[in-house]
Amino acid sequence: MSDPLLPAVPGFLPADDSGAQIKRALSWTHTARFLTTASKLSELPASELPEIAFVGRSNAGKSTAINVLAQQKRLAFASKTPGRTQHINLFELGPKDAPDAMFADLPGYGYAAVERNAKLRWQEVMATYLAVRRNLRAIVILVDSRLGFTEIDTKLLDFVAPRIGNGSVTLLALLTKIDKLNRSQSAAAVERATTVIERVTTDEADVSVSTFSSLSRAGVGDCALFLHQCVHHRGTPNGS
Ligand code: GDP
């Protein structure tokens, strides 16, 4: 029998083989390595590789989540060093000699202490990135499960609604720090988030809500699997 971890044709593993699929997806997310940082869109390398953007309010748990997915302690903390908080950081994934995807860590938003000019500049960088980045395949929006979607999160959703709605970009709403909630609170948080993302849901849209904890690792494997499938089991961006 062939090795279940090395299927000849990705995407054709039997449905009951989810453990092996998760393992394979995690070994893929573990390959994430820093590629470059950019303070404006024109500094980002043009790429044909499918890109997954991570967005969320400051303190939502985005850096920790990226580090846990990558199984590296400090990978995403480059974005927290002074002077880099407004930057887009790109990570490359897959074999070193044949990278197959990128993660884009976008600046956290909603941090009250950021001065007005920096906020406006951030909005411009972020908005332009989400609207025009050609190879954008998926957006992971991280939301603290205790807070749910805030006004600024829903504004961002509305902003990306056209690309989500026409199915060219997949959306994953990740409810973070789920270890802080009990089972019924967690179910209620998922229900509330599902209602919110209905605003971007169309027949073509590919949207999901999932729970996540960097602390207990709940949902980490499922998240890795989702991202892996986004990149490996679907068509190229914009359906071309
Ligand atoms: P970011 O600003 O979105 O990058 O947020 P961070 O990743 O820096 O996390 C913000 C705070 O939340 C830190 O104190 C983390 O230790 C904490 N945190 C992150 N993920 C989790 C989690 O899954 N569970 C709990 N309980 N705390 C978390």
Quick: pLDDT tens for 175-197: 999 999 999 999 999 999 999 99
What is the distance in A from the centroid of ligand 1 to the CA of 65? 8
Checking DSSP bridges between strand 101-105 and strand 51-56, what pairing results, if any? Answer: parallel
Asked if the model's pLDDT at residue 98 lies above 50, the reply is yes
Give the residue, by CA position, lying nearest to ligand 1 atom 6: 61
What is the distance in A from the centroid of ligand 1 to the CA of 62? 7
Predicted model pTM: 0.90
CA distance 50 to 59: 26
Asked if the model's pLDDT at residue 223 lies above 50, the reply is yes
CA distances from 37 to 26, 89, 103, 199 (A): 24, 4, 12, 32
Give the residue, by CA position, lying nearest to ligand 1 atom 14: 59
Contact residues of ligand 1, CB 6 A cut-off: 56, 58-64, 108, 176-177, 179-180, 213-215
Q: What is the pLDDT of residues 19-74, one digit of tens each?
A: 999 999 999 999 999 999 998 888 999 999 999 999 999 899 999 999 999 999 88
What is the distance in A from the centroid of ligand 1 to the CA of 144? 9
Tokens at 214, concatenated: 């960097």
Asked if the model's pLDDT at residue 108 lies above 90, the reply is no
Give the residue, by CA position, lying nearest to ligand 1 atom 21: 177
What is the distance in A from the centroid of ligand 1 to the CA of 227? 20
Residue 236's pLDDT band (cuts 50, 70, 90): very low
Tokens at 7, concatenated: 């299927």
Tokens at 146, concatenated: 């205790």
pLDDT > 70: percent of the chain: 86
Type of residue found at 67: N
